[in-house]
Structure 1
Amino acid sequence: MTQDHPFAQYVRILGKGPKMWRDMTFDEARAAMNMVLSGEAEPLQLGAFLLLLRRKGETGEELAGMVAAARDHFVAQDVTAKVDFDWPSYADRHRQQPWFILSAILLADQGYKVLMHGIEGYSDGYAPTRPGLSVFNVPQATSLSDAAAQLGAKNLVYLGLEKFCPSLQMLFELRPLLGVRTAVNTFARDINPFGAPFQLQGVFHPPYKALHLGTVQALGQPNSLIFKGGGGEVQRNPMKPVLVDGLVEGEPVEQEWPAMTEENVYKWREEDLAPVQLLRLWRGELDLPVPILAIIGTLAFALKLTKPTLTTNEAEARAREIWESRDKARFG
């Protein structure tokens, strides 16, 4: 080969010497990720690109460009649906029950249209989202068009990434080969397939809050709350104070939410990982104070995002009322 491969320019931007490398622009990141998702980058180039990007540290502008590329590669284009909340679920290896599913159900019960999307867990012994959704008969759509149709009748629908952007799903499968997570694990959370005006983001590492904030700002997302979530999911840890970063009507905000309990340790039991435990908690057959507070606290975040004038106490009080007044026999 006498000429550089077309993708080499993007590896070069990141891989030059200590004083020569630079961040990519939005357009460069979008073009690079478009080549990746089209299969135009060689495997060697892809590995170098992702690891150089991780070693450098991504920027919000770079991740926003990659989100734009992912949207370019949706299996179906120009599919629209009225969605209020975008709820990403991409923490594929957490060992916690996805109690947040109950928060999403309660939010949908308030009349909000919620799209939850994500990937499946990699290993047995973890508690991925989809089995938990199944026990509540939450529709799991087969495509963007199917999700749009389902949202016409239901307020909560799940859509797997492999159903609407399989080329991006394939990049998640590189983790066992590379040994580390990459920008893919970060920017996929910001895809927001239907452009919902409200978005919740749970991250595992607090430094990623600022990165996601920069990403959603670059994407023009109007309302978003970003916080350290249990297992990296949209799930509040009620045992600790939470510092939330976000956007409200396009303006950056910081919110301080105090701990909801004096408990500081919750021992997760193996039986807690069984999806049926979610159903038993809904029915009132289990008394698990910390998970119940996680459900209430997560719902409170969503309520405050839609009504910024609510105080944190008011949002939590309203969320508690919604939880306590639920129809326990609904999923009999």
Structure 2
Amino acid sequence: MSTEFREYLRKIGSGPHTSKSLTREEAAAAYRLMLQAEATPVQIGGFMIAHRIKRPTGEELAGMLDAYNELGPQLQPIDAAYPVMVMCNPYDGRSRTSPLSPLIALILATAGVPVVTPGGDRMPTKMGVPLVDLWQALGVSWAKLSLDQLQQVLAQTLLGLLYLPRHFPLAQTIVAYREQIGKRPPQATLELIWSPYCGPCHTVSGFVHPPTENMFRIAGELHGLSQFTAIKGLEGSCDLPRDRTVIAMLSNAVGDWRRFTLHPQEFGAAAKELPLLDTADLAAAYQNVLAGEPSDVTNATVWSAGFYLWRAGAVATIEAGMALALELLQAGKVKAQLAHLCCAVAAIT
């Protein structure tokens, strides 16, 4: 048992009237003890439940990030025309709508915008299809790469998926607790803002609940994040909704945060959301999009990709981003980018 960790648990778990928030330093210490298994399973489970009930603060989230940055993997800076866009989707996936993250990432990379996506295997509580499986269905085996190999592929192709079980095993050991407590712990919020890339980057965080915005803002300012995009996306992902107003929080400089709304109908993008398909059917739909075929999946992909091309600074307007995304698809350049990626991965595995 860790007596130090017990004090942190006691502080946040004393009930609605006497519990207190941790300082940034205490939150970092608590998460180091969890990741390094110096806290016992009982302590870790109790901490997760207590912290979820209390709700983490922005300062605590900053401390949690400190621990992840200290103990987690770090991809090194690469040469690129734009900062790496780290797209942080919920690790437990989707249960109602089809994810388009691989297609969006391929379009961005084709336009010269590097993309890194962290994730793992099927994870509680949703147990949705993980992005690593969707990439595998496209012929890309991210799970086989060592961290050095991942670095090499990122530099060559401007694409990378950091696979938690292989690249951050300390964090992977905590995954089992999620199923046992039956709820997402605050660590799931941490994952939406954690970047495994140590160079200049643009963090993109999906979220669901409005209070998360303020936590992101405080933690981002404490960590000196300049380029940041938080999207109230589909099921908390980075995919833009089409059947409702897009709500976002944007920052282009440290401390410069602004609320942003976007109406899909003004861009000809309004439509019903794509229902969740099984992996095989979704991979087939991806291939049709890559072939430049018109479809509802193509429209949804172009909508999100156009927005992120604009946020990356690759185009002057969202409309121009949508036009560029469609042009790259129809010209076969995105499909060629996937072939380049598959060759790069196959050559070193």
**Same-fold call, TM cutoff 0.5:** yes
- Determine what percentage of the aligned residue pairs are the same residue: 22
CA, structure 1 residues 297+217, in 2 after alignment: closer, same or farther (shift >3 Å)? farther
TM-aligned CA deviation for residue 317 of structure 1: 4.0
Partners of 1:217 and 1:280 lie apart in 2 by 41
1:200-239 aligned at under 5 Å gives the runs 200-239=204-243
Extract unaligned runs of 5+ from structure 2.
340-349
TM-aligned CA deviation for residue 275 of structure 1: 2.3
TM-aligned CA deviation for residue 316 of structure 1: 3.7
Q: What amino acid is the match of 1:80?
A: Q
Deviations 1:273-317 (A, max 9, x none): 5423211232145x532x323212221232222239934444444
Q: Which residue of 1 aligns with 2:77?
A: 81
Q: Which residue of 2 aligns with 1:101?
A: 102
SS in 2 for 1:53: helix
CA, structure 1 residues 160+271, in 2 after alignment: closer, same or farther (shift >3 Å)? closer
CA, structure 1 residues 37+12, in 2 after alignment: closer, same or farther (shift >3 Å)? same
CA contact (8 A) 1:238 1:293 kept: no
1:126-141 aligned at under 5 Å gives the runs 126-138=128-140, 140=142
1:229-268 aligned at under 5 Å gives the runs 229-250=233-254, 251-260=256-265, 261-264=269-272, 266-268=274-276
Q: Which among 48, 51, 70 is matched to residue 53 of structure 1? A: 51
CA, structure 1 residues 212+173, in 2 after alignment: closer, same or farther (shift >3 Å)? farther
Q: Which residue of 2 aligns with 1:276?
A: 284
Partners of 1:71 and 1:17 lie apart in 2 by 30
Q: Which residue of 2 aligns with 1:172?
A: 175
TM-score (norm 2): 0.82
Deviations 1:73-93 (A, max 9, x none): 22x67x523261112233424
CA, structure 1 residues 67+309, in 2 after alignment: closer, same or farther (shift >3 Å)? same
Which structure shows the bigger proportion of residues in helix conformation?
2
CA contact (8 A) 1:244 1:256 kept: yes
CA contact (8 A) 1:131 1:275 kept: no
CA contact (8 A) 1:80 1:148 kept: yes
Q: What amino acid is the match of 2:111?
A: Q
TM-aligned CA deviation for residue 270 of structure 1: 5.0
1:140-219 aligned at under 5 Å gives the runs 140=142, 142-195=145-198, 196-219=200-223
CA contact (8 A) 1:206 1:227 kept: no
TM-score (norm 1): 0.86
Partners of 1:163 and 1:271 lie apart in 2 by 22
CA contact (8 A) 1:70 1:165 kept: no
CA, structure 1 residues 179+94, in 2 after alignment: closer, same or farther (shift >3 Å)? same
| C-alpha RMSD of the superposition | 2.9
CA contact (8 A) 1:97 1:273 kept: no
CA, structure 1 residues 329+176, in 2 after alignment: closer, same or farther (shift >3 Å)? closer
1:306 and 2:312 aligned: yes
Extract unaligned runs of 5+ from structure 1.
none
Q: What amino acid is the match of 2:284?
A: V
Partners of 1:232 and 1:224 lie apart in 2 by 16
TM-aligned CA deviation for residue 162 of structure 1: 1.9
